[in-house]
A and B are shown apart, each in its own frame.
Chain A
């Protein structure tokens, strides 16, 4: 018989109580993995979008907290492009619309100039790309087209207008496959923001030179006091919507963790109280305090490890399922990052240890003769 065997047998002597505690802790871990996983996945997907385009800097209106609502002049395109050290510049306007008929409430609409490289970088799987002079024409990302069952030649209504689907495209980015493209001028008209873009993504030349990127950033910021250029990673980190989701995830997770700790504490306290006589026996026959403490901690660790495995699986599965929902298909993809799953597992272990600490100390400090009399 091994030490862990004793701990395990103590746990399974009250199978329902142990199972329910493990389930409660599993749900806490699942909430952490799912929520934080989703927020990190969102962030990563955004970052991937910019990185794949080779973007080094994002230029937006300075002080624009809600980036979608802020706008800067379309004319800056040429001025940024002609700065020393500037490579490719892509300017675009972005909005989010609801396609209520299809139960989709957050579909990204990108407005690009007809000569925008993005239109050439996506893979056309049906129809054609947008061309100069197109009006009321739209390209749909492959996932979006699949979700709403549209093909080339069909029409789609948004902004209370009908648009003809002229092309369906595929992309490396889940944001783009779940989005739709129209020409910049059309979107400016629809959003009543003539001459404005949401921002620019700018590539530095030579690529990959951090000093060159920094120099370019300073030059761009010098163009206009109303604009601000930031590194892509900083931009993504500070996107208001992502920050909001991240904060909400952590708040929810903290609540879940506290509930988990209370659950483990309750179970372990009940468990050691009702076993006081047995613990007294262990102390009487020579078990050291630290070994009694270790036994209680081992029980909690087994419980929380079980909860960690179940909870992390549930959380990862939930996040994956969320990504399969048509409503979220454009925003989430794949499993939560491994680091988040590891965080969830670690968290369960920490919750187990914290929850068992007081009962373990209480058990270790039981005086054998008093405990033996409890029977």
Chain B
């Protein structure tokens, strides 16, 4: 069905999605239908589409949090279904940024950023602390390292989550509505941070968004509608709302 990835493709593309479908367990909801796409190394892509279009499902598949019903997802030329230690892949190769931050409430910013470092390359506690301090400084939280999430603003929490995503220097950052819970000022600061990460660290960024502000920062916009990929020359701008959100779509296919 699918040709094996060529070395050249593996070199050029960090992610390849091949004829992927995702049907949820009741067998009635097709969240994704025959989606194929490739994302180059170092690319900054935004996935847009109305609610229920399958954006989050696609992100979960790209992040090895879920498995496709049909088709395959390749990471660096290797099929995710063939990778035995998928946890290590997530720990070392992928950084996640969630809309709701998902920081551990009992841990300070400095401690939250160290959490992914328990997996991946072996580091001593002092090395972990040094690395976390460095990352928090990059995201502008040098003075807030010892604060708990509850003592920080939502923007600071998202910055902490971004620092956490960078903990093991992954080549890929997946962000699910990273500015969805932020005011415009904080959201803009986060986008500036993404820009600089992309520019200076050359990470591959895949961002799910409803926001035109976010999508317009990306090099490429991938549009989903009813679980299908909209050809890129047809653009996805119509799904974007200037202030953020698209109108509701009645025939949702998302679970």
Contacts and interface: CB of A to CB of B under 8 A. Distances in A.
Interface stretch (B69-77, B95-103, B210-218): B95-103
A45 interface: no
Interface string B159-193: 00000110010000000000000000000000000
A363 to B, nearest CB: 14
Nearest to B95: A285
A2 interface: yes
A278 interface: yes
A125 B105 CA distance: 69
B119 A291 contact: yes
Contact of B102 (A6, A287, A291, A375): A375
Nearest to A277: B102
B111 interface: yes
Interface in A251-296: 277-278, 280-289, 291
Given A1-B128, A369-B60, A285 B115 contact: yes
Contacts of B94: 286
Contacts, number: 74
Given A285-B91, A375-B102, A369 B114 contact: no
Contacts of A281: 98, 102, 104
Interface in B76-101: 87-92, 94-96, 98, 100
Interface string B108-136: 00110011101110000100110000000
B50 to A, nearest CB: 19
A359 interface: no
A291 B87 CA distance: 11
A288 B87 contact: yes
B66 interface: yes
A179 B250 CA distance: 92
B23 interface: no
A287 B106 contact: no
A222 to B, nearest CB: 73
A372 B111 CA distance: 20
B117 to A, nearest CB: 9
Contacts of A291: 118-119
Interface in A1-32: 1-3, 5-6, 9-10, 12-13
Nearest to B174: A284
Interface string A340-375: 000000000000000000000000000011001001
Contact of B116 (A12, A13, A285, A375): A285
B107 interface: yes
B200 to A, nearest CB: 23
B109 to A, nearest CB: 12
B106 A9 contact: yes
Most chain B CB atoms below 10 A, which of A5, A285, A286, A369: A286
Contact of A1 (B92, B119, B129, B168): B129
A369 B66 contact: yes
Interface of B: 60, 63, 65-66, 87-92, 94-96, 98, 100, 102, 104-107, 110-111, 114-116, 118-120, 125, 128-129, 164-165, 168
28 contacts: A1-B107, A1-B111, A1-B128, A3-B118, A6-B104, A6-B106, A6-B111, A9-B107, A10-B106, A13-B106, A277-B102, A281-B98, A283-B87, A284-B90, A284-B102, A285-B91, A285-B115, A285-B116, A286-B89, A286-B90, A286-B92, A286-B119, A287-B115, A287-B118, A287-B119, A291-B119, A369-B60, A369-B65
Interface of A: 1-3, 5-6, 9-10, 12-13, 277-278, 280-289, 291, 368-369, 372, 375
Given A6-B104, A286-B116, 8 more contacts: A1-B125, A12-B106, A13-B106, A278-B102, A281-B104, A287-B87, A372-B102, A375-B102
